[in-house]
Structure 1
Amino acid sequence: MNDPQPARNDSIDSQLPRILFFNVNGSGMGHLNRCLSYARRLRGRARPVFFSLASAIELIEEMGFEADYFVSPYWSSSSTFAWNSELAVRFGMMLERVRPDVIVFDGTWPFQGFLATCETFGSPALVWSNRGLLKEGGKTVSVDESRFDLVIQPGELGAQESETPLEGGGTRALVPPVCVLEDDELLDRATAREALNLPQDGRFVLFALGPGNLKDVAGIAHGLIREFEAAGFNVVWVRAPISVRDIELPAGVMPLTVYPLARYLRAFDAFVGAAGYNTCCELVQAGVPALLVPNAQLADDQVRRAHMVADVMPAVVSACETDDERETAVSKLLGLLNATPAERAAIPMNGAVLAAEKILALAARRERTQ
């Protein structure tokens, strides 16, 4: 149930600007999602190619894009120096093969092996896609943004497009939230249930508490599953494509593996999950009432983001660490489900389109100067 795409025409692709996406492997799918969001909007106007540190490389290929995989430093037994040296060789081989017009890096900070290879290669136009909303006082790594022609900041809910100049002649561009799919690609309730082989009757809640790579979510999950089942819900559990360990599900809970998940969200009456960037953007896009359980172990401020969601749509925010917290949170969400929906304000969600246009314009400028 992935993104069906037409076969590539290599003769046409060879005449298009080449955009090389380098996505790191985070705790979730965020970096890969954003690169795929940009690449989908470039289809037919550029030739997107991926160099991915995320293990779910088959998702890239199923969307119709070329991809090469290199192991993330978090899963490598090499030292930092050795890994960056290995990266420089592998990425250099990728640059020789693809010869991109633009390189787009999506990650918290660019690796030294990556930057050194770009400089050695003669560096085509360089873009850094860098999501913000980090916690105050959190660990940061200083990066010289003047090395980039364009820094794209995927905005949080309510962000408006803006540009500011960077030292070195580049541009920092803030864009509205970035989503993999357009609004008209989301299935309605009946169609989504049919696609997932779910009955049209009955109440279903979708759990997406993350892959559990950094935080053990089993206790919270089992407690919330009991609460929802007691309220008459059928529980569906999303298994993340990059999960390295899955929790043992109680009998009766249905596992689900689909990508992109946003396409099928409206099949469900309610959603339970962490407050990652993509999750929150897609929930607002789909309008599915949610119980958000922020993951406090990550660098981004998920608590703040979850409350942004609750300000614009029916959502409850809770750590759900104790039985009392879980019971209260589920009760509040059920109250929202039974309330008359309020009129939703229009929120711009076209960040992927705007970012893709800026990347394409950068490629065009590079072609004119060659």
Structure 2
Amino acid sequence: MSKRDQGLASVVLGGLVVSGALCVAAMLSADLLYATRLIGAAGFVLGATVVLLLIVVAHRQQRLTETLRLQLSAFSKAESRHDYGRKVQLDQLQQMLGRLRFLTEGISGNQRPIDTRLTLPFDKESLLPRVLFVTSNGAGMGHLTRCLAVARSGRKYFQAQFVSLSSSAEIVRLFGFEVLKFRSQAATGQAAAAWNDSFAVFFDDICRINRPTAIVFDGTWIYRGVHESAKRHGASLIWLRRGLWMEGADVTQLETAHMLADHVLVPRDVGDSADEGPTSRLRDTLVPAPTLIEPSESFARDAALTELGLDTARAYVLVQLGAGAINDVSDARERAISRILSLSPTTDVVVGLSPLSKHYVDDRPRVHVVRQYPIAKYLSAFDFMVIAAGYNSIHESVRFKAPAVVVPNLQTSTDNQALRASEYERLGYGISANTLEELDKAIATFGDAEVRLRFRDALLSAALPLDSGEGAATKINEWITCN
């Protein structure tokens, strides 16, 4: 009760007491006239008290009515919000049911007709297990190249074919493998959920038709369609995952890898000793860093130049930059070309591109464009290189003793190329350039033959375990034959 209500109650109570007292006094008085006056006064006080009481009751009723109105209004709003929430939940449920219907219609065992276009050329008569290599859509050709190395080395252990999201996927056919392509989410512009549903149906059909013994996935995120299809069709799932992840990268699947994949293979990295990122804290199976070819498959200097159609009397520097290095690849490439051409009138530039790349043209007389893959076969042709700090480029440099200016892509979401490049420089293999100004200075430094010789000597003593995929292929064979 408020103080105001307490005051009004006291006034009413006082009025009742006064009127009562007047009535008692009138009954006790012997003077009839005086008693009549007392009774009249008591009636007046009583009447006033009753009027005041009615006013108090009316006010209380008004306040109660307003309180009830406000409570009803609040309840109505709450109910509206609740109804809206239920409507949103219903919409979400309908969307989920739509996706579930899509998947059950798309992934339906033997009920769907077989699409023969998804049949890969596994040898039906062979007793070797079937391994399906699946690569994501990275910034370059790293995932494909790494898997190609393992697939080539594993030919004595298993049959291998490919599924890839890479725009350069056809490159595997140069090595005798077939590939089924699927457009990446970025290429399609689809929402993540819709793309994952479509890929899940596509990949499930591939597994249903080709019956792989094992699936080797190379990428930073195992797609739902891959790990679900592996379980559905009884295939071992092996995650071939490089290390050197950035701090701040999405580590969800690193923490749950044992729930998604049967095994995790991690190729060694020149930056391992300096790695303090999320992958450094894991205890996965390590294998040597693979390069696509053996040193025995590479050409000597003059033979390499002849194969490339270049004059053996001149000196050459290779420029091969991947996606998104310093600001824009074209900026770094042009700066490198201009600086190299200024070193000596007898030094030419060779721009290395993918065989599938048709866009870049350079008509300058001392600039030559080659589209050879893998370029590692020809590295002896060059005095030095200007290359991206991606996994494969760096490790080809180390294995084939080809010193380089390395340009890290600073825009990657997981691959810590800046760390790899700085560690490459710290070990004395070459120079890291993070800016165009640093690129200028590094190329000028490489113009000194004695400096190049020091870098090459350091590469000759490199202790990093390297192979052509034999370590990974052997481990895959161990795992699938033990199952």
Length-normalised TM-score, structure 2: 0.66
1:345 to 2:457 alignment: no
Partner of 1:33: 145
- Tell me if the contact between 1:287 and 1:313 (Cα under 8 Å) persists in the aligned partners: no
Structure (1/2) with the larger strand percentage: 1
- 1:294 is aligned, of 408, 413, 428, to 408
Matched residue SS, 1:251: coil
Q: 1:206 deviation in Å?
A: 0.7
- Tell me if the contact between 1:156 and 1:177 (Cα under 8 Å) persists in the aligned partners: yes
Change (3 A) 1:126 1:142: closer
- Tell me if the contact between 2:293 and 2:377 (Cα under 8 Å) persists in the aligned partners: yes
Q: CA RMSD in A?
A: 2.5
Q: 1:346 deviation in Å?
A: 4.4
- 2:238 is aligned, of 115, 127, 133, to 127
Partner of 1:184: 296
Aligned residues: 344
Partner of 2:206: 94
Partner of 2:40: none
Change (3 A) 1:291 1:58: same
1:275 to 2:389 alignment: yes
Matched residue SS, 2:140: coil
1:78 to 2:190 alignment: yes
Q: 1:213 deviation in Å?
A: 9.5
Matched letter for residue 461 of structure 2: A
1:298-317 equivalence runs, <5 A: 298=412, 299-317=414-432
- Tell me if the contact between 2:389 and 2:417 (Cα under 8 Å) persists in the aligned partners: yes
1:297-333, Cα deviation, whole Å (9 max, x unpaired): 11311121112322445411112323xx333211222
Partner of 1:63: 175
Matched letter for residue 345 of structure 1: S
- 1:256 is aligned, of 350, 370, 376, to 370
1:116 to 2:221 alignment: no
Q: 1:21 deviation in Å?
A: 0.6
Partner of 1:334: 447
Q: Which runs of 5+ in 2 are unaligned?
A: 1-120, 274-282
Give distance in 1, aligned partners of 2:371 and 2:328: 20
Partner of 2:89: none
Change (3 A) 1:195 1:242: closer
Matched letter for residue 264 of structure 1: Y
Q: 1:249 deviation in Å?
A: 3.8
Change (3 A) 1:71 1:249: same
Matched letter for residue 269 of structure 2: E
Give distance in 2, aligned partners of 1:340 and 1:263: 20
Change (3 A) 1:248 1:66: closer
1:203-282 equivalence runs, <5 A: 203-212=315-324, 216-232=328-344, 233-240=347-354, 246=359, 249=362, 251-252=364-365, 253-282=367-396
Change (3 A) 1:283 1:333: same
Q: 1:25 deviation in Å?
A: 1.3
Q: 1:214 deviation in Å?
A: 9.9
1:152 to 2:269 alignment: no
Q: 1:242 deviation in Å?
A: 6.4
Partner of 2:308: 196
Matched residue SS, 1:187: coil
Q: Which runs of 5+ in 1 are unaligned?
A: 1-7, 161-170
Overall identity of the aligned pairs, in %: 33
Q: Which has the larger radius of gyration?
A: 2
Q: Which has the higher contact order (CA 8 A, sep 6+)?
A: 1
Q: 1:359 deviation in Å?
A: 0.6
Change (3 A) 1:31 1:214: farther
Deviates more, 1:148-157 or 1:330-339: 330-339
1:166-195, Cα deviation, whole Å (9 max, x unpaired): xxxxx8311221211122122221221111
Q: 1:57 deviation in Å?
A: 2.4
- Tell me if the contact between 2:149 and 2:468 (Cα under 8 Å) persists in the aligned partners: no
